[in-house]
A and B are shown apart, each in its own frame.
Chain A
Amino acid sequence: MTATLNETPAPEAHRIPGDVLLNRLTPEQIEAFGAEMDAIRRRVIAELGDEDATYIRKVVKTQRAFEVAGRALFYVPPAWPLAVAALSVSKILDNMEIGHNVMHGQYDWMGDPGLSSRMYEWDNVCPSEQWKYSHNYIHHTYTNIHGLDRDIGYGVLRMDEDQEWRPYYLGNPLYATLLMLGFEWGVAMHDLEVERIFAGEKTWADTRHLHAGLIRKIRDQALKDYLLFPALTGPLFPLTLAGNATANLVRNIWAFNIIFCGHFPAGVSTFSEEECEDESRGHWYYRQLLGSANITGSRLFHTMTGNLSHQIEHHLFPDIPARRYPEIAEDVREICERYGIAYTTGPLGRQLGSVARKICRLALPDRLTGRRGSRQPDPVVEPARAA
């Protein structure tokens, strides 16, 4: 990965700390920091029990209730907006607070096959098996490392200065909008690495092992949302079909926005492969922290984001039940303050604005926007922000 370097440094403060920060703590500090994170992990895992089980079961019950209510309300045409709202909530809860978190193994300790990372299948077109590979393994292990983490721009967008500008990226805002509207499809196609097929780096045949799973999942999802449930409402078929499609769309937009606030707002760092060679456990924790951002909000908001509003804590402890992240966040912030590590967080509106500006800015070549490549060391670092 070569960065597009600009000869004249920009006058304003460096907004992407990246490697500058990764080298700032001494190896001893990094190790001590990692030990503190491990201690949090041990403490929370020892506490897991009844409350966590009750919580997730309650969320599942709520999700199933919204789903049944949504499907039923389509029989009452005036209640169409309510039906769409209920089904949207159902799909959001299923995909985020339940699906995403269960598939991280957060509830495997319960021994319940219905909440097992190996068994759970979520209500969208991406087969869980394929998602677990690209997300749990690739994204969570190599978070924000250029060339390894395909979640940087998902192979479609330019989300970082270190992705070399090409005229193709002029469409950045358009691609982002399309990805938002069809987010479940983007997630489903992620493993195919279509951009690498276009670039000639791999062939369509290399993705053959994914086809059967993808086709089956897409068929099952389309069958129920676009054929069976509409058909069951008889003459209301078109209304129900439109309602189901809208619910899927609402979920897509919501999930896209929350997830893009997790790694792309200003203040979040990306890394090079060289920086992360022979990484220690403490270094890994440190990278997860620098590479993620939180969103502030109410308890209901956190639940509706699947607690991905605590993306930092999620990346530090991806397999700890997400309902624990708010309490863990207090400790993590205190530790960050002691070590002087930036902890990026902000309200949804601000983080979204920051991401949107980045998407538009990076559509243009760096020389036009007056930014330079982030690989250049810069002693000035944005300090930790208050929530």
Chain B
Amino acid sequence: MSLTDTILRSRAVAALTSPHGVDRYLEQVHPMWAAHEVRARIVDVHREVDVPGHPAVATITVQPTSTWRGHRAGQHVALGIEIDGARRTTRVFSVSSPESRPGDRITITLRANPAAPDGQGVSRHLVERAEPGTMVHLSQAEGDFVLPDRVPEHVLLISGGSGITPVMSMLRSLQRRTHRGRVTFVHYSRSPEHQIFAAELDDVRRSGHGIDVHLFHPELGDPALSAARLERLVPGYREVPTWACGPAPLVEAVRAGYDGSDALRVEYFQPPRTTVTGVGDVSFARSGLAAANSGAPLLEQAEALGLTPASGCRMGICLSCVSRKTEGTVRNVVTGEESSLPDEDIRICVSAPVGDCVVDL
């Protein structure tokens, strides 16, 4: 940390810039100046996969501010971007580059989500329209789907689709650490055209060095993942430390094959759930309570379950009840507006769930 950083993060500067904090002043001078927050500038956008009729995949290289503390292979970051210049939308993406140190450049590899509504799709925007020079907001790296500091002798990495990103970070880190043991890399993608990092994986396979790469393409007739298949690839795989990431069906198949073995660590993307008015379930994540969605505002549904969330006016003006909705669609009962953004702060007194909904209460 430089002397400037030390001064900017000091208690004296915090006291002088109270109540706003030093970053609120630095950002006015230059968007890449920060003492605490992490921001980043896009330096490169590279198309990985571009199959006509299918959502494209791109790797975005970003240069974070010096406040970036680095990441461990397998971790993810929240990336926020002002798509139309006004509304910042934030989504979580795995880092695909090898483990990084403070201030290092990192890459994020992502598939454009075709279901995202216009103007709200972070992934669509990044893949289809982002240009070098654009500023984005980052969180510090998060998540415990990571390689341990002492890497086991044999590592098995299983992934499907864009779930390749965290395990690619692991594979690249292992190569950089000149891991002497064995790595088995198993990946499922629709077809060879859909294969992300195809050229790099091809190089890895040919260079040998104890890394076995197995790529499967169901569209070419490769069978789905099963215990028998894993056993053939890696005899005694249940005892091999394994990291698996991908869509729900793949992760479920891997889970079934490991039969509760603690050698397996998984990360998966939630499948979409139903969104029909007045049906579905409402869950309150923090309290672990859930019930069938009655269609009433979330505040009433929470209270019906015995919860006592903070609330005030009960008519959507005072913001006392603002809570975080992590999943699902809600309708503002006053304006009729519907909103499906994940991790959105909503006024639960006037927000009625449309179908399944999860609120952090």
Contacts and interface: CB of A to CB of B under 8 A. Distances in A.
Interface of A: 38, 41-42, 45, 48-50, 52-54, 60-61, 64-65, 68, 104-105, 108-112, 114, 117-118, 121-123, 132-133, 136-137, 140-141, 217, 220-221, 223-224, 228-229, 232, 281, 284, 318-319
B312 A53 contact: no
A220 B16 CA distance: 9
Contacts of B279: none
Given A112-B88, A117-B322, A118-B322, A41 B15 contact: no
A306 B128 CA distance: 40
B317 A136 contact: yes
B12 A61 contact: no
B86 interface: yes
A83 to B, nearest CB: 16
Interface in B206-240: none
B16 A224 contact: yes
Contacts, number: 103
Contacts of B335: 38, 41-42, 45
Given A132-B319, A133-B312, 6 more contacts: A45-B335, A111-B80, A133-B320, A137-B320, A140-B313, A140-B318
Given A45-B335, A133-B320, A141-B318, A111 B90 contact: yes
Given A49-B84, A224-B16, A141 B315 contact: yes
Interface string B322-338: 10000000000011110
B317 A318 contact: yes
B71 to A, nearest CB: 21
A339 B104 CA distance: 64
B15 to A, nearest CB: 6
B272 interface: no
Q: Which 9 A-B pairs have the closest CB atoms?
A: A137-B312, A111-B88, A53-B86, A121-B19, A137-B318, A141-B313, A136-B318, A220-B18, A105-B319
Interface stretch (B20-28, B47-55, B105-113, B290-298): B20-28
Contact of A110 (B24, B88, B316): B88
Contacts of B319: 104-105, 108, 117, 132, 136, 319
B148 interface: no
Contacts of B288: none
A276 to B, nearest CB: 13
A284 B84 CA distance: 35
Given A109-B87, A112-B88, A223 B318 contact: no
B117 to A, nearest CB: 15
Contacts of B123: none
A89 B84 CA distance: 31
B345 interface: yes
A357 B58 CA distance: 69
Nearest to A53: B86
Nearest to B347: A105
B86 A228 contact: no
Contacts of A41: 334-335
Nearest to A49: B86
B309 to A, nearest CB: 14
A50 B320 CA distance: 27
Contacts of A112: 88
A363 to B, nearest CB: 33
B66 interface: no
A140 B317 contact: yes
Contacts of A64: 24-25, 28
Contacts of A105: 319, 322
B97 interface: no
Nearest to A220: B18
B318 A228 contact: no
Most B C-beta atoms less than 10 A away, residue of A140, A229, A281 = A140
A136 B16 contact: no
A64 to B, nearest CB: 5
Given A123-B19, A228-B16, A50 B345 contact: no
Contacts of B195: none
B260 interface: no
Contact of B24 (A42, A48, A114): A114
B317 A50 contact: no
Interface in B73-110: 80, 82, 84-90
Contact of B317 (A68, A141, A229): A141
B85 A122 contact: no
A290 to B, nearest CB: 17
Nearest to B81: A111
A64 B22 CA distance: 11
A137 B313 contact: yes
A6 B87 CA distance: 57
B24 A136 contact: no
Contacts of A111: 80, 87-90
Nearest to A229: B16
30 contacts: A38-B334, A42-B336, A52-B86, A60-B28, A64-B24, A64-B28, A104-B319, A108-B345, A109-B87, A110-B86, A111-B87, A111-B90, A114-B24, A122-B19, A132-B320, A136-B312, A136-B319, A137-B318, A137-B320, A140-B313, A141-B317, A217-B19, A220-B19, A221-B18, A221-B19, A224-B18, A228-B16, A229-B16, A281-B315, A319-B316
